[in-house]
């Protein structure tokens, strides 16, 4: 890690005026919501400003240190709360400070880099979009950290040529997708030793480039980007002795080269979560200094090299979810005396350890799969184990098995996607983090000690009541995350929740639970998400839940709840999923005050009344708020960070989809299958950030407001089976992201707007509107304006047009009226079902013939 000398400010130092002016330029371009720069006054010596350090001898500014720490509260959060951080613009003149060595603006929320040529005459008129990128090489900058400015967009990096002295660069989290020449630009910095470009949306790695002139590079971090290519040749042709390479979480493909690269000093190689394939090359298992090898979630195949056991410096081997084959035995780990983490899983390998083998290492963490029918015996020799995982295994445990007493001392226990034959009803679990999801566990629930923080046992076949787990006496519970969804649990929710006040997340969905929500649930003041979906719960949503002030997600879909939708729901709510219940009454107006609400799903109930016109007060659906924030829970287990993301099953585009990591990006309003009346308020179509709108199966009337064209992000629109009138507004064609449309079974008239993507939807999107015409419907529109024809009319022809339109609808009215009366008489006469059906088919044919005849006559009459 790069270090620099940070000289302390001295009361005798007087700030250089040029440096002071540059810093004031920076202050004026920035927005400072928390007053971090309040000490930056032109009346004070800049060497005493917050974050500024000057050299004791020269009085020149050498360090500017203004990072904003990312807040990570323990539990539910948006992880990156930057509301208190600096924002606005970074003034380009900072890079012209002649003696600045250290610049750290990480974790802030800057939006762009700006330049004022009047105050910075040393920069030439070359531009970076609207920014200069070439200034006099007057800087001695060694350390540059702009990471964590997630909304900062930089079009290119050519301005770095003015700071060629850089040794350390961290631009992680900045949007650099526009820069395609970054490899060559970075290689021009002769002293660069550490380069961090993590999560920069890079999609190019100059794979055709044979050589990159990095002469001092030691650390290269390109993880979490969007690089679609093979690992480039220049990386394996480096002449510098690189020590750390991070390429994980990309889309890299192909095989590693067989020829040995110049990686003699390589200590860490991280390639996980890519599409790399083929065998492990021989040179990789001969790197004597290699300490961390991470190749999980790739497509590497073939046998695991036996000489892997010669990597005596190896500390961590992570090779989960690959396609390795063959037998793995103690020979593969013979000399790994420094090994601390062993993560090895492939469905095609067979573990065959000597029963009496004692490993040369003591592990902190292990993940193996598949194993069985018993855990390997050498596991019980590991006295410092903190995490244990078995994946894709068939394991059998007997009552009182020593395994459960062994794991009681382990912080993290993860047994997932296994077939475990065990009854846990008499087991006391003690680990802080327990994940037993997606197994075949049967019987009753286990008991939990007060040490447990996370308990996940979802996707099993556990049955019986929740009373044994929730209602036993416990002095103080630390449980924060509880997921028992997708089991066969029955009975009520119990009224023992007062013992679990630390809970943040509860998921009891997809069980056979019945009864009402008990009052004691209102004592969970820290609760942020409650999932009770797909059960047989009934009654009202109790008023006691209003004490859950932190509740952000309420998911009670597909139950038998009744009564009115509560008006006390928290104003900070993000997702309300109440679909498929028996709620009645109106939509409560306080819904409009939920400015952060992204999911509003009240569909398939008995809600009546009008859609509130104040719905455009839901700010997050109106204003574009750039977000990389994750929705989930953060836990630290023995110093290691674990994130569990929220998820919801949403109906959008006519199908149910589960949203996890992108849940925070979705904006949905679904009020379908209710008894809503009246017109659609224009304010409903003033939600430009909405992704999906479903108002189908109601009794809505009136026209589709032309304001629908404001919904630029709309991907799914369903207004079917209402009583909407009038023409389809032309503005609907402005919705360029629209991929699902259903306007069927209304009373829409006229021509479907042509020359737009609206013709790209099938006829099923428009059927059931008898007076709608034009592609993709087979019904053609007349040329004279009937049914929404597009023939232009001169001003002098307006009266004739009005008359013709009158007579057209007059004759049509006669025809339709006659047919209607005729049907009514015949319906009273014919009681034989076969005759009746045949006669109705005849009448439908007659109606169509009359319709064609009238239109033809009208065309001839007005030509």
Task: Encode pLDDT of 373-428 as tens digits.
Answer: 889 999 999 999 999 999 999 988 776 788 999 999 999 999 999 988 778 888 89
Q: For 543-584, write each residue's pLDDT tens digit.
A: 999 999 889 999 999 999 999 999 988 888 999 999 999 999
Tokens, residue 178: 């526009």
pTM for the full model?
0.80
Q: Calculate ∠ Cα 407-408-410, nearest 5°.
A: 60
CB atoms within 10 A of CB 252: 23
Q: Decide which of 126, 145, 166 is a domain's last residue.
A: 166
826 within a domain of the structure (yes/no): yes
Rg (CA), the chain: 34
CA 473, distance to chain mean position in Å, is 39
CA–CA gap between residue 500 and residue 532 (Å, rounded) = 17
Q: How far is residue 290 from each of residues 293, 315, 536, measured CA to CA in Å?
A: 7, 8, 56
What confidence tier does 801 reach under pLDDT thresholds 50, 70, 90?
A: very low
3-state secondary structure labels for all residues of 670-706: ECCCCEECCECCHHHHCCCCCCEEECCCCCCEEECCH
Q: Which pLDDT belongs to residue 830? A: 43
**Span 492-501, mean pLDDT?**
92
3-state secondary structure labels for all residues of 224-286: CCCCCCECCHHHHCCCCCCCEEECCCCCCEECCCCCCCCCCCCCEEECCCCEEEECCCHHHHH
Give whichever of 120-134, 204-218, 596-610 has the largest mean pLDDT: 596-610
Q: Which pLDDT belongs to residue 115? A: 67
Q: SS3 of 183, please?
A: helix
730 within a domain of the structure (yes/no): no
344 within a domain of the structure (yes/no): no
Whether the CA torsion 532, 535, 541, 543 is positive or negative: it is negative
Question: Taking all residues of the chain, what is their mean pLDDT, rounded to a whole number?
Answer: 85
Tokens, residue 648: 């919801």
Is a pLDDT exceeding 90 seen at residue 108?
yes
CA–CA gap between residue 546 and residue 541 (Å, rounded) = 10
CA–CA gap between residue 745 and residue 472 (Å, rounded) = 56
Is a pLDDT exceeding 90 seen at residue 499?
no
Q: Which pLDDT belongs to residue 571? A: 84
What confidence tier does 70 reach under pLDDT thresholds 50, 70, 90?
A: low
Q: Which pLDDT belongs to residue 783? A: 58
Cβ atoms of 668 and 689 within 8 Å: the answer is no
Q: Decide which of 121, 151, 166 is a domain's last residue.
A: 166
376 within a domain of the structure (yes/no): no
Q: How far is residue 344 from each of residues 165, 350, 371, 376, measured CA to CA in Å?
A: 43, 11, 11, 14
Q: Which pLDDT belongs to residue 116? A: 56
Is a pLDDT exceeding 50 seen at residue 718?
yes
Give whichever of 226-240, 801-815, 817-831 has the largest mean pLDDT: 226-240
Residue with the larger pLDDT of the pair 522 and 850: 522
Residue with the larger pLDDT of the pair 738 and 754: 738
Cβ atoms of 587 and 670 within 8 Å: the answer is no
Strand partners, 341: 316, 365
What confidence tier does 192 reach under pLDDT thresholds 50, 70, 90?
A: very high
Q: How far is residue 39 from each of residues 42, 44, 162, 256, 379, measured CA to CA in Å?
A: 9, 8, 30, 54, 59
Is a pLDDT exceeding 70 seen at residue 814?
no
Q: Decide which of 134, 166, 198 is a domain's last residue.
A: 166
Tokens, residue 468: 């044994």
Q: Which pLDDT belongs to residue 137? A: 47
**Span 627-648, mean pLDDT?**
78
CATH number of the CATH domain containing 36: 3.80.10.10
Specify the number of domains making up the chain: 2
**Span 615-641, mean pLDDT?**
77
Give me the domain span that covers residue 77. 16-166
99 within a domain of the structure (yes/no): yes
Residues 6+ apart with CB under 8 A from 752: 728, 758, 759, 766, 772, 773, 774, 775, 776, 777
CA–CA gap between residue 840 and residue 853 (Å, rounded) = 20
Q: Which pLDDT belongs to residue 301? A: 94
CA–CA gap between residue 485 and residue 535 (Å, rounded) = 10
CA–CA gap between residue 189 and residue 197 (Å, rounded) = 15
Strand partners, 514: 536
What confidence tier does 71 reach under pLDDT thresholds 50, 70, 90?
A: low
What confidence tier does 702 reach under pLDDT thresholds 50, 70, 90?
A: very high
**Span 205-211, mean pLDDT?**
86
Is a pLDDT exceeding 60 seen at residue 472?
yes
825 within a domain of the structure (yes/no): yes
Residue 65: enclosing H or E segment and its boundaries? strand 61-65
Tokens, residue 800: 């004739």
Residue 839: enclosing H or E segment and its boundaries? helix 833-862
DSSP 128: B
What confidence tier does 60 reach under pLDDT thresholds 50, 70, 90?
A: very high
Q: Which pLDDT belongs to residue 188? A: 92
Percent of the chain clearing pLDDT 70 (strictly above): 84
Least-confidence region, from 91-95, 134-138, 566-570: 134-138
256 within a domain of the structure (yes/no): no
638 within a domain of the structure (yes/no): no
**Span 32-54, mean pLDDT?**
93
What confidence tier does 13 reach under pLDDT thresholds 50, 70, 90?
A: low
């Amino acid at each position: 890690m790069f270090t620099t000398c940070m000289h302390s400010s001295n009361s005798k130092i007087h700030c250089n005026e040029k440096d002071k002016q540059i810093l004031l330029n920076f202050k004026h371009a920035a927005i400072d919501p928390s007053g971090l720069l309040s000490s930056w006054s032109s009346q004070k010596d800049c060497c005493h400003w917050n974050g500024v350090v000057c050299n004791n001898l020269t009085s020149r500014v050498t360090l500017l240190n203004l990072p904003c720490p990312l807040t990570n509260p323990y539990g539910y959060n948006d992880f990156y709360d930057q509301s208190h951080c600096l924002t606005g613009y970074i003034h380009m003149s900072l890079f012209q400070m002649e003696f600045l060595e250290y610049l750290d603006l990480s974790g802030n929320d800057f939006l762009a880099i700006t330049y004022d040529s009047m105050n910075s005459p040393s920069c030439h008129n070359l531009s970076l979009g609207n920014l200069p990128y070439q200034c006099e090489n007057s800087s001695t900058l060694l350390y540059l950290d702009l990471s964590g400015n997630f909304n900062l967009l930089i079009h290119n990096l050519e301005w770095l040529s003015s700071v060629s002295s850089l040794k350390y660069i961290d631009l992680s989290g900045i949007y650099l997708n526009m820069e395609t020449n970054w490899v060559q630009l970075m290689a021009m910095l002769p002293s660069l030793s550490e380069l961090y470009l993590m999560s920069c949306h890079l999609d190019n790695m100059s794979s055709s480039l044979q050589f990159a002139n990095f002469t001092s590079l030691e650390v290269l971090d390109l993880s979490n980007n969007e690089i679609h290519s093979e690992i480039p040749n220049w990386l394996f042709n480096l002449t510098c002795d690189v020590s750390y390479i991070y390429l994980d979480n990309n889309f890299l493909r192909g095989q590693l080269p067989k020829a040995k690269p110049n990686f003699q000093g390589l200590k860490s190689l991280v390639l996980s979560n890519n599409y790399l394939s083929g065998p492990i090359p021989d040179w990789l298992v001969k790197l004597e200094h290699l300490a961390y090898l991470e190749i999980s979630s790739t497509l590497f195949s073939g046998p695991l090299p036996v000489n892997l056991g010669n990597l005596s410096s190896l500390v961590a081997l992570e090779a989960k979810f690959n396609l390795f084959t063959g037998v793995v035995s103690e020979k593969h780990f013979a000399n790994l005396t420094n090994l601390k983490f062993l993560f090895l899983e492939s469905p095609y390998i067979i573990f065959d350890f000597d029963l009496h083998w004692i490993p040369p290492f003591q592990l902190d963490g292990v993940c193996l799969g598949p194993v069985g029918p018993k855990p390997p015996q050498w596991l019980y020799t590991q006295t410092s184990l903190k995490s244990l995982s078995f994946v894709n295994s068939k394991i059998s445990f007997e009552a009182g098995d020593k395994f459960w007493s062994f794991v009681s001392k382990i912080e993290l226990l993860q047994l997932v996607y296994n077939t475990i034959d065990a009854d846990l009803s008499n087991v006391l679990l003690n680990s802080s983090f327990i994940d037993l999801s997606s197994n075949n566990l049967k019987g009753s629930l286990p008991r939990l000690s007060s040490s447990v923080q996370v308990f996940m046992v979802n996707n099993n076949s556990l049955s019986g009541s929740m009373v044994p787990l929730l209602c036993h006496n416990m002095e103080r519970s630390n449980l924060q995350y509880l997921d028992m969804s997708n089991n066969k649990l029955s009975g009520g929710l119990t009224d023992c929740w007062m013992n679990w006040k630390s809970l943040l997340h509860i998921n009891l969905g997809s069980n056979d639970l019945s009864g009402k929500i008990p009052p004691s649930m209102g004592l969970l003041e820290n609760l942020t998400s409650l999932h009770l979906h797909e059960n047989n719960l009934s009654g009202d949503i109790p008023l006691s839940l209003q004490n859950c002030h932190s509740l952000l997600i309420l998911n009670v879909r597909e139950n038998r709840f009744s009564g009115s939708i509560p008006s006390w729901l928290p104003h900070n709510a993000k997702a309300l999923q109440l679909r498929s219940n028996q709620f009645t009454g109106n939509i409560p107006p306080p819904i409009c005050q939920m400015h952060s609400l992204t999911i509003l799903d009240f569909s398939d109930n008995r809600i009546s009344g009008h859609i509130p016109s104040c719905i455009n007060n839901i700010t997050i659906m109106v204003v574009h708020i750039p977000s990389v924030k994750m929705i989930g829970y953060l836990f630290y287990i023995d110093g290691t960070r674990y994130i569990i993301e929220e998820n919801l099953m949403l109906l959008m585009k006519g199908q149910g989809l589960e949203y996890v990591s992108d849940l925070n990006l979705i904006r949905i309003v679904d009020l379908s299958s209710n008894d809503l009346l009246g017109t659609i308020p224009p304010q409903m179509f003033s939600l430009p950030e909405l992704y999906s709108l479903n108002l189908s199966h109601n009794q809505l009337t009136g026209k589709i407001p032309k304001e629908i064209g404001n919904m630029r992000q709309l991907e799914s629109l369903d207004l079917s089976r209402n009583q909407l009138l009038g023409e389809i507004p032309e503005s609907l064609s402005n919705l360029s992201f629209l991929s699902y449309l259903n306007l069927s079974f209304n009373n829409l008239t006229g021509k479907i707007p042509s020359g737009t993507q609206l013709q790209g939807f099938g006829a099923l999107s428009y059927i059931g509107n008898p007076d709608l015409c034009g592609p993709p419907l087979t019904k053609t529109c007349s040329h004279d304006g009937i049914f929404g024809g597009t023939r232009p009319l001169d001003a002098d022809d307006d009266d004739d047009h009005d008359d013709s339109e009158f007579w057209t609808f007059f004759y049509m009215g006669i025809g339709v009226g006659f047919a209607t009366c005729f049907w009514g008489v015949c319906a009273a006469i014919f009681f034989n079902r076969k005759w009746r059906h045949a006669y109705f088919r005849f009448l439908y044919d007659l109606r169509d013939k009359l319709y064609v005849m009238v239109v033809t006559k009208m065309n001839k009459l007005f030509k």
